Amino acid sequence: MEFVLDEIYRVLSPEGEILPNRQQGMSDELALSLFRHMILTRLLDERLTAIQRQGRIGFHIGSMGEEASILGSTAALRSNDWLFPCYREFGALLWRGMPLKNYIDNMFGNANDPAKGRQMPDHYSGKPYKFGSVSSPIGTQITQAVGFAWAAKNRKDPLVTLTYFGDGATSSSEFHNGANFAGVFRTPTVLFCRNNGWAISVPTERQTASATFAQKAFAYGIRPVRVDGTDLFAVYQVTREAIEQISNGGPPVLIEALSHRLSGHSTSDDPRVYRTEAEMEAERKTDPITRLRSYFTARNLWSDAQHEALRTELDQEIKQCIDLSSKVPAPALRTMFEDVYQTMPEHLKTQWAECEAAPRAAGHGSPGH
Amino acid sequence: MPQMNMVQAINDALRVEMRRDSRIVILGEDVGKLGGVFRVTQGLFDEFGGERVIDTPLSEGGIIGTAAGMALYGSIPIPEIQFADFIFPAFDQIVSEVAKFRYRSGGEYPCKMVIRTPVGGGIRGGHYHSQSPEAYFIHTPGLKVVCPSNPADAKGLLLASIRDPDPVLFFEPKRIYRAGKGEVPEGEYLVPLSKASVVRPGSQVTVIAWGAMLFEAIEAVNRAASDGIDCELIDLRTLWPVDLDSIIESVKKTGRVVIVHEAPKSCGFGAELISLINEHAFVYLEAPPVRVTGWDTPFPYTLENEYLPLANRIHPAIVKTARFE
């Protein structure tokens, strides 16, 4: 067995041309649909960052530069497969069917937020979309994705789980636990590492002395794959292949998707403190949307006019959702005490009554704060 | 009615429920062929097979993390943590994930499981085979915490925990795993959660204990009786959510209370119980509430009987409380 993994799977050249011996590997219809979705997530990043700067929402954590990595892999899932997200994959949640309005409600933490305003923005959950529940602790979803797949396997339920995590998460005990359990019990799981080069301000060389993240798979007896995460077709193809192989009894797969984070870690971060403008400028040239746009344009499947029209249309839709969500009131006080347990115990009933009787806090009910 | 010790009673509870509900999965270190280091799961591997009674890698975080995934899928995992002292690698999964799943997902994702783990001292286990970490988990919203003191309760409370919709930490007092046998009802037998048991009715001092220390409290209460002090002894059985009504009812009657637990004194569960008593029965109190607990030190090896709140320390605390004016 070869223990160093040099090859990075690519389909598109940096200029957006199909490389020799490679194929698009999906219909034009699906490709364009994913492309539109990538633009939607990019626009959301721009809009949400802007309204965070205006103080209208508290936080946003986006996926600029990683749209191909997220959407290419999510699109490769079958309808019965489950997704266990990190916190950058709202594009995947929307692709799997959550209405944009619900996502924006989550950004405002208002009364219509499916998570009932209990978590900070971008900590959504989406059971109807076979999409897990976002938490902030790093890597915890990895072992959960493995456990879910394991339970399904023991029930002869032929689903596969895919879990997202960043390069930093490979340093967590959860990555080790998840990869180890996946390998030992051969669970039907894809471990999808979005290597964007940074864990907030800490670069990959501070996460590992391994030559690649993917090669860690060898130690766990699972299969490694490296792919260009800015290449939609490449990501889709390797994920599809991983799911097919796992479904046919193959080992779990660790995919390392290499991309660049074309923004700060989140709205709370300022990358200028630890990165040079020249570096960031160079990375912007790897923009997966620009690359796909060149590809579709060259094939006469996309025009500048279409691009602008789509941007305008999506922008309108986003603005409308923001406008509506921002007017929805805060969740009722009782929601703070519900769902801690299935049935509210006496001590929480007492505390709820005490809370209701107390004067309201300053700034009570201002959504987004 | 069959006679069983606590190990046999818990084993029986697991067997009864696993026969009834195919969603139940046991996972942990050495729980399979060996039947657990305390033999609590003995014979279950043979009856239910390796997909339902699973020996895992040596990783508590992995055990609880994968159990959480199983619970999300719809299985009912009953992970075993070999000693409560080893639960801390899984602390993040229990506190940040299992306890919060239902709440943080707006009710979409219950994460029901029963985490079984042997707890407490008295087996000459030193720091790492003796601790009582219940307070960490009582302090975490979303968890239920149970600790039986006898075989019948162990069975009944475990069945109730398995059927409860919320995650439960089921602490098994290993010092009394095999201390004695008692009558345990066959088949389905449930003891409701959050209901304390008044072990001995009395009028002068309320003594609250649970788990292995209940028997030390019984000994102390008997000694106090020969001093002419009539104690009411309460076995909490479920620590959280606690049966406040039973406690308050008793304290209103006696006005005096002694609380016993093995865990260190400061910020132990006794502190919370006394706060609750102050909030709900302050005007009935005739003496300062007293805690007899482990010391605020790591759990010692050689001097463990000096560390534990045994009858030799509980008895004088009862006498002092009874005679306080």
B89 touches chain A (CB under 8 A): yes
pLDDT higher than threshold 60 for residue A1 = no
**Catalytic member of A265, A291, A293, A295:** A265
What mean pLDDT, rounded, does chain A reach?
95
Query: B65 and A147 in contact by Cβ < 8 A?
Result: yes
- Smallest Cα distance from A29 to chain B, Å: 33
> What is residue A59's predicted lDDT score, i.e. its pLDDT?
94
The string of pLDDT tens digits covering residues B46-59 is: 999 999 999 999 99
Q: Which residue of A has its CA nearest to B52?
A: A154
pLDDT higher than threshold 50 for residue A292 = yes
Q: Categorize the per-residue pLDDT at A362 as very low, low, confident or very high, splitting at 50, 70 and 90.
A: confident
The string of pLDDT tens digits covering residues A299-333 is: 999 999 999 999 999 999 999 999 999 999 999 99
Q: Is domain B197-322 annotated with CATH 3.40.50.920?
A: yes
Residues A353 and A278 in one domain: no
Integer Cα distance of B188 and B118 in angstroms: 23
The string of pLDDT tens digits covering residues B226-262 is: 999 999 999 999 999 999 999 999 999 999 999 999 9
> What is residue B254's predicted lDDT score, i.e. its pLDDT?
98
The stretches in chain B having pLDDT less than 70 are none
Tell me if domain B3-183 and domain B197-322 are identical in fold.
Answer: yes
Residues A129 and A214 in one domain: yes
In this structure, are residues A122 and A97 in contact, taking their beta carbons and an 8 Å threshold?
no
On whether residue A348 sits in a domain, the answer given is: yes
Q: Which fold has domain B3-183?
A: Rossmann fold (3.40.50)
> What is residue A366's predicted lDDT score, i.e. its pLDDT?
60
On whether residue A368 sits in a domain, the answer given is: no
> What is residue A113's predicted lDDT score, i.e. its pLDDT?
96
> What is residue A369's predicted lDDT score, i.e. its pLDDT?
44
Q: What is the rounded average pLDDT of the residues A278-286?
A: 90
pLDDT above 70 covers what percent of chain A? 97
A131, A256, A339 from A170: Cα distances, Å:
21, 11, 32
Residues A176 and A230 in one domain: yes
Q: What are phi and psi of A273, to 5 degrees?
A: -70, -30
* Domain range for A225: 28-327
On whether residue A8 sits in a domain, the answer given is: no
> What is residue B164's predicted lDDT score, i.e. its pLDDT?
98
Integer Cα distance of B309 and A11 in angstroms: 69
Domain ranges of chain B: 3-183, 197-322
Q: Which residue of A has its CA nearest to B110?
A: A342
Tell me the helices (H) and strands (E) count for chain B, helix number first: 12, 14
Q: Of A64 and A365, which is predicted with more confidence?
A: A64
> What is residue A5's predicted lDDT score, i.e. its pLDDT?
67
Query: B59 and A119 in contact by Cβ < 8 A?
Result: no
Query: A144 and B241 in contact by Cβ < 8 A?
Result: no
Six token digits for residue B89: 């690698």
On whether residue A283 sits in a domain, the answer given is: yes
Residues A115 and A203 in one domain: yes
Q: Categorize the per-residue pLDDT at A185 as very low, low, confident or very high, splitting at 50, 70 and 90.
A: very high
On whether residue A5 sits in a domain, the answer given is: no
Six token digits for residue B125: 């286990």
Q: Categorize the per-residue pLDDT at A365 as very low, low, confident or very high, splitting at 50, 70 and 90.
A: low
Q: Categorize the per-residue pLDDT at A367 as very low, low, confident or very high, splitting at 50, 70 and 90.
A: low
Residues A340 and A319 in one domain: no
Residues A341 and A229 in one domain: no
How high is the ipTM of this complex? 0.95
B295 exposure class (CB count in 10 Å sphere: 0-12, 13-18, 19+): middle
On whether residue A104 sits in a domain, the answer given is: yes
Chain A residue numbers touching B52 (CB-CB < 8 A): 154
Which residues 142-181 in chain B show a CB within 8 A of chain A? 142, 144, 165-166
Q: Which residue of A has its CA nearest to B53?
A: A154
Query: B144 and A341 in contact by Cβ < 8 A?
Result: yes
Query: B92 and A116 in contact by Cβ < 8 A?
Result: no
On whether residue A23 sits in a domain, the answer given is: no
Q: Categorize the per-residue pLDDT at A67 as very low, low, confident or very high, splitting at 50, 70 and 90.
A: very high
> What is residue A364's predicted lDDT score, i.e. its pLDDT?
73
Residues A340 and A223 in one domain: no
The pTM score is 0.96
> Which of B210, B161, B226, B218 lies closest to B189 in space, CA to CA?
B161
pLDDT higher than threshold 60 for residue A2 = no
- Smallest Cα distance from B261 to chain A, Å: 22
> What is residue A363's predicted lDDT score, i.e. its pLDDT?
75
On whether residue A299 sits in a domain, the answer given is: yes
Residues A105 and A236 in one domain: yes
pLDDT higher than threshold 60 for residue A361 = yes
Strand, helix or coil for residue A15:
coil
Number of domains chain A is built from: 2
The string of pLDDT tens digits covering residues B101-136 is: 999 999 999 999 999 999 999 999 999 999 999 999
The DSSP bridge pattern shows strands A198-199 and A189-195 to be unpaired
Residues A99 and A37 in one domain: yes
Query: B65 and A154 in contact by Cβ < 8 A?
Result: no
Residues A350 and A272 in one domain: no
For the question of residue B129 being annotated catalytic, the response is: yes
Residues A352 and A316 in one domain: no
